[in-house]
């Protein structure tokens, strides 16, 4: 990916324990140090993310209207019998007849019955794919969760080993929350390591408080996966433009993330809508386009990176 032209390697710090995350960051730092380009390292710290548990097949195909039993637990050996979720008492955030989402909205479920705080039944709203350990989005839960999770302290303690150039804090919704996170970071910085801080904007509250957040952060990430599920989706493009413009006006970084070139998971060239998405973000003056599933789950991530570079370079030379 470095040879393909990536400018920043982002390590998502949500799926493993602190030791394994540290190992991944150290390996990434070693690869960067061996290359002859200025490549940055970004540690994307976790939030109180709702997630499905594990199952052996990694992913399963489902039909519209198929019912699933959901139980609290780390994993299931048979996802057709039941699926698991990792957050205790998750059903307390649900209501019969309401919908929740997985995989940044790629799959929707409707709640059919709630048996307890840790067991419920839901049916698929359409056919699709369920991937193990994928994120769940329950709109009513997002503002009730405490996103300053203990795992952040465990990861921060180990970050001086890899010295990431940037740290992204998730679901930042106010200057008060960011100040709390910055105070945690300050306990671990060293004379030769003081990373830039990126605030991920993933809720309407974060959008509303963007100016006070930008006053403290080095930049923002327009984290469109959850943001598109917490604001009316028809306004997502307008909000993205607003956030990028506010960052530019204050001389701060702006990173547009999630779903930029998703079509390249199954195609050799991007769909026209994906091309226009990257083009518009670049025209708006975004500092970077962040590729997520497009590279993490791709058999050929370098092809995706080269496509993104082609589009961005075309805009820059226009």
**Domain match, 95 and 36 both:** no
Which residues on neighbouring strands pair with residue 123, listed in sequence order?
67, 110
Look up residue 25 and give its two tokens.
């960051």
Question: E-assigned strands of 158-274?
Answer: 166-169, 196-201, 219-223, 253-257
Residue 59 is encoded by which pair of tokens? 């992913």
Are 155 and 104 in a shared domain?
no
User: What pLDDT is attached to residue 230?
Assistant: 87
| Domain of 62, in residue numbers | 50-137
So what's the pLDDT on residue 17? 85
- Which of 238, 258, 278 is where one domain is finished? 258
Residue that terminates a domain, selected from 226, 243, 258 = 258
Domain boundary at 258, 286, 309, which? 258
Return the closest-CA partner of residue 186 out of 216, 142, 207, 225: 216
* Strand-pair partners of 131: 59
| Per-residue pLDDT, 317 | 95
Does the residue 265 lie in any domain? no
232 and 160 in a common domain = yes
Give this prediction's pTM. 0.88
The owner of tokens 């970071």 is 185
- Name the average pLDDT for the chain: 93
Looking at the chain, the whole-number percentage of residues with pLDDT higher than 90 is 81
| 256 has pLDDT over 90 | yes
pLDDT at 223: 95
Asked whether residue 192 is assigned to any structural domain, the reply reads yes
Q: Do residues 18 and 58 both lie within one domain?
A: no
Q: What crossing angle do the helices spanning 272-283 and 301-316 adopt, rounded to 10°?
A: 50
State how far the Cα of 246 lies from the Cα of 254, in Å rounded to an integer. Answer: 9
CATH number of the domain enclosing 119: 2.40.33.10
**pLDDT exceeds cutoff 90 at 238:** yes
Query: The CATH number of the domain where 30 resides is what?
Result: 3.20.20.60
What is the spatial distance between Cα 121 and Cα 239, in angstroms, rounded to a whole number?
34
Apex 47 CA angle, 42 and 53, nearest 5: 110
Portion of the chain with pLDDT greater than 70, in percent? 100
User: 307: closest CA among 287, 279, 281, 283?
Assistant: 279
**78 class by beta-carbon count within 10 Å (0-12 exposed, 13-18 middle, 19+ buried):** exposed
Q: Determine the average pLDDT of the residues in 291-297.
A: 89
Number of C-beta neighbours around residue 68 at 10 A: 19
pLDDT at 297: 83
Note the pLDDT of residue 16.
81
What is the pLDDT, as a whole number, of residue 49? Answer: 79
Decide: 150 and 178 in contact? Cβ < 8 Å: no
pLDDT at 50: 87
Whole-number Cα distances in Å, 231 to 102, 201, 270: 16, 11, 26
- Overall domain count for the chain: 2
User: For residues 56 and 6, what is the distance between their CA atoms, to the nearest angstrom?
Assistant: 32
Question: Locate tokens 């990792």: which residue?
Answer: 86
Task: Please check whether residues 160 and 249 belong to one and the same domain.
Answer: yes
Question: Domain check: are 78 and 36 in the same one?
Answer: no
Helix/strand/coil percentages in the chain, nearest 5: 40, 25, 35
Residue 63 sits in the same domain as residue 202: no
- The per-residue pLDDT for range 145-172, each reduced to its tens digit, is 888 888 899 999 999 999 999 999 999 9
**What are φ and ψ of residue 93, in 5° steps?**
-90, -5
One domain, residues 14 and 60: no
Identify the pLDDT of residue 78.
94
Is residue 48 a contact partner of residue 136, using CB atoms and an 8 Å limit? no
> 230, 146, 207, 208: which is closest to 181 by C-alpha?
146
Q: Is residue 82 part of a domain?
A: yes
Q: Give the model confidence (pLDDT) of 201-213 as tens digits.
A: 999 999 999 999 9
Q: What would the two tokens of residue 122 be?
A: 């839901």
Element housing 179 (H / E): helix 175-186
Q: Which has the closest alpha carbon to 101: 125, 132, 82?
A: 125
Instruction: Give the model's pLDDT for residue 186.
Output: 96
State which of 43-52, 86-95, 303-312 shows the largest mean pLDDT. Answer: 303-312
Note the pLDDT of residue 94.
94
Burial 142-167 (b: 16+ CB within 10 A, else e): beebebbbebbebbbebbeebbbbbb
Instruction: Specify whether 123 is located in the same domain as 188.
Output: no
**What number is the average pLDDT over the span 115-126?**
97
- Residue 15: the pLDDT is 73
Task: Give yes or no for residue 252 having a pLDDT over 90.
Answer: yes
pLDDT-derived band at 265 (thresholds 50, 70, 90) equals very high
């Amino acid at each position: 990916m470095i040879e393909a032209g990536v400018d920043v390697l982002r390590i998502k710090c949500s799926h493993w324990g602190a030791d394994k995350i540290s190992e991944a960051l150290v390996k990434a730092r070693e690869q960067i140090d061996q290359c002859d380009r200025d490549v940055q390292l970004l540690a994307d710290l976790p939030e109180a993310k709702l997630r499905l548990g594990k199952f052996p097949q990694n992913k399963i195909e489902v039909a519209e209207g198929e019912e699933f039993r959901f139980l609290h637990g780390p994993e299931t050996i048979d996802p057709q019998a039941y699926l698991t979720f990792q957050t205790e008492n998750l059903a307390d955030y649900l209501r019969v007849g309401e919908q929740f989402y997985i995989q940044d909205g790629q799959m929707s479920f409707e709640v059919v019955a709630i048996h307890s705080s840790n067991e419920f039944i839901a049916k698929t709203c359409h056919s699709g794919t369920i991937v193990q350990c994928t994120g769940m989005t329950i709109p009513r839960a997002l503002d009730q969760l405490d996103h300053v999770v203990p795992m952040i302290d465990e990861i921060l303690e180990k970050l001086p080993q890899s010295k990431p150039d940037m740290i992204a804090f998730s679901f930042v919704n106010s200057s008060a929350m960011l100040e709390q996170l910055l105070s945690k970071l300050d306990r671990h910085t060293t004379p030769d390591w003081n990373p830039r801080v990126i605030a991920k904007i993933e809720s309407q509250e974060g959008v509303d408080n963007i100016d006070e957040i930008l006053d403290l952060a080095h930049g923002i990430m327009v984290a469109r996966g959850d943001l598109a599920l917490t604001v009316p989706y028809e306004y997502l493009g307008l909000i993205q433009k607003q956030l990028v413009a506010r960052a530019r006006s204050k001389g701060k970084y702006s990173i547009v993330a999630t779903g930029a070139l998703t079509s390249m998971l199954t195609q050799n060239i991007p769909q026209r809508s994906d091309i226009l998405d990257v083009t518009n973000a670049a025209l708006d003056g975004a500092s970077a386009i962040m590729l997520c599933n497009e590279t993490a789950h791709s058999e050929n991530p370098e092809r995706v990176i080269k496509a993104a570079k082609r589009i961005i370079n075309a805009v820059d030379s226009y």
